[in-house]
Chain A
Amino acid sequence: MNEVRPGFALAAVVALLAFMVITPGWFLPQPATASGSLLAGHLGEHDAPESDCGPVSDDPIKRVTLVAQATVWEVAPGESFPAWSFNGVIPGPVICLREGDTLVVTLENRLPTIASFHAHGLAREPSSDGTFLTESYAVPGGSYTYTLQADSTSVGTWAYHDAVAELDEGAFIDGLSLPESGEGIERGMFGAIIVYGEDELDADGLPVGYDHELVLIEAEFEAEVTAGPVYMTINGRIAPATPHYQFQAGETVRFRIINVGPNANHNLWVSGLDWRQTQSGEHVDSVLFGALEFGDFTLEVGEPRETRYVCSIEGHEAAGMHGLFSVIE
């Protein structure tokens, strides 16, 4: 009989541990990590406007595939929590449309709960609403296809998010489910939709009148989700991994700002600069948004400076909601 000798057992344990520690990185895809603050904005000389959408195609039917999936999301180097996401990233992919486009979204669900795509600002039938009572959701292991229209009232900045994951009884009032309900949005299932008006894009599909156009999504991750600290995030990260915005002196920048909540207000300042609400032209010191409010704001970045942006709501800066803002020569 080949008994299990202590020496052999020890060797086996060491070999198995080595296998577990070393090889996953070889064979399995690894999630994106928050390796410090990444520069965003002006990264080098450019002749054309730069936007998070890139050139927007003139194909009137835009197709997007989203995969609702679990992921471990790193908000800053060494700080992560179990999240749910669209396509493994938080925020999910930006959806860029022209006025008049049809958006077809196929949602594949790899979560252990139902999941949906609920979009603000786009016209849709109840069967593409992404809410529980309309039964427009993807079951675990299944998929669902949503068809929405970007009409003339859709021009602007909107959010999309899940509205049904782990829905609880509290989401129902008088038999109607609240559209923003369930745990999906709290765990990271959200993203931006941008709809450009007819005169907002040039012949190459790039935004007219701006040097840069960026999406900025504010979101909080509460202690029940993170099983620990509260994270107040900008584009899914906390300081020091929040975007380091950098622009060239004299540039005009459009920010598409979204507060996906789920509960907190945010009041975003850029120290030394005023925001101008893009549509009305109104100047404001800061952008104060409640949960699920969104809009466009422009910055004239002016002279070279090193400054910072921060949410001035009490406790939010300490929870990570700040970052660097540079204006270079």
Chain B
Amino acid sequence: MDLNLFGIGILLGVYVGVVPVYLGLFSLPLLQRLRREWLDFLVCLTLGIMLFLFVDVAGEALEAADKLPAAIAVPADGQASVPALDKLLYDLFGAGSGTILGPLFMLTGFALGVLGLVEFGRRLDRLREAGGSWGGLLNPATLSPQMQLALLVSLGIGLHNLGEGLAVGVAYGSQSFALATVLIFGFAVHNVSEGIAIVSPVSRSQVDLRTLALLGMLAGGPTVIGTLIGIYIFSNALSIIFFAIAAGAILYVVIEITASLGDRFRNSHLNYLGIMAGFTVMYLTSLLVLL
């Protein structure tokens, strides 16, 4: 294994995902100074950010599914090399199978994402009702409904960043790549908002450093994993599944956030402004991501 390329892969994930998320997380003291009335606005900001991420990653999944027919149409013979999993699909199902497999992977991944987060949310509920902690990292006092929401948001963002890391790993994971600083800057600005989205629900709670570290790793760490996957074992079929799982997971988080707001959501124009602000910030910063 080329240790240099491995190291670059980790660094890419750190620059693109981990550091920007933590930059956003450390906005917590600033958010804690806002008046209590702004809490719902912040939760709606998170909702707007997650809505954008859903649109973004669902679009990626659909696009990847559209491209699968071309990606597995070429047999891996002496002339062509094809990612291993795509070759397996070609061998098992033939050249024309992409038209069916693309949507199949898309829907399967989507279902996995939704149901996976449903099960995770259910386990968190049971943990909170039992007054337990999670792996020793959270204590009963901090596993509030708001913290539970922050955990779900982190997980959803982490799955989104897994797909983002995949794209970075494919694009830049070769020996001859050169990454312009402007690209890192684009990713950083875009992903800072994700950190803010995570801590917004807990801006009225006590959050300790270990918890913040955990939330950051949940959200940003998958970028490193995705980058390494993109460099070493990328597969067009796998990318559909990753993006679709993220889309399903984020949809669940969007529904959970909306449910947590309840009737308070409808009674305030400020809340709708929060949604629009979150969506707009993510959209505008996504234009800086020149990938």
Contact = CB atoms under 8 A, between A and B. Distances in A.
Interface of A: 1-6, 8-10, 12-13, 16-17, 19-20, 24-25, 27-32, 67, 69-72, 80-82, 87-88, 108, 110-114, 127-128, 132, 135-146, 227
A158 B131 CA distance: 73
Interface residues of B, number: 57
Contacts of B23: 13, 16-17
B180 A72 contact: yes
B178 A141 contact: no
Interface string B44-81: 00000000000000000000000100111110101111
B28 to A, nearest CB: 5
Given A13-B23, A16-B19, A139-B236, A145 B80 contact: yes
Given A16-B22, A143-B81, A145-B79, A29 B28 contact: no
25 contacts: A4-B26, A5-B29, A9-B26, A9-B27, A9-B29, A10-B26, A12-B26, A13-B23, A27-B8, A29-B178, A29-B179, A67-B176, A71-B177, A110-B170, A110-B172, A111-B171, A112-B171, A113-B67, A135-B74, A139-B72, A140-B71, A140-B236, A142-B76, A142-B83, A145-B79
B2 to A, nearest CB: 14
Contacts of B80: 138-139, 142-145
Contacts of A127: 79
Interface of B: 7-8, 11-12, 15, 19-20, 22-23, 26-30, 67, 70-74, 76, 78-83, 86, 167, 170-174, 176-185, 188, 206-210, 212, 234-236, 287, 290-291
Contacts, number: 160
Given A69-B174, A72-B290, A110-B171, A3 B207 contact: yes
Contact of A24 (B70, B179, B210): B179
B220 to A, nearest CB: 11
B234 A30 contact: no
B29 A6 contact: yes
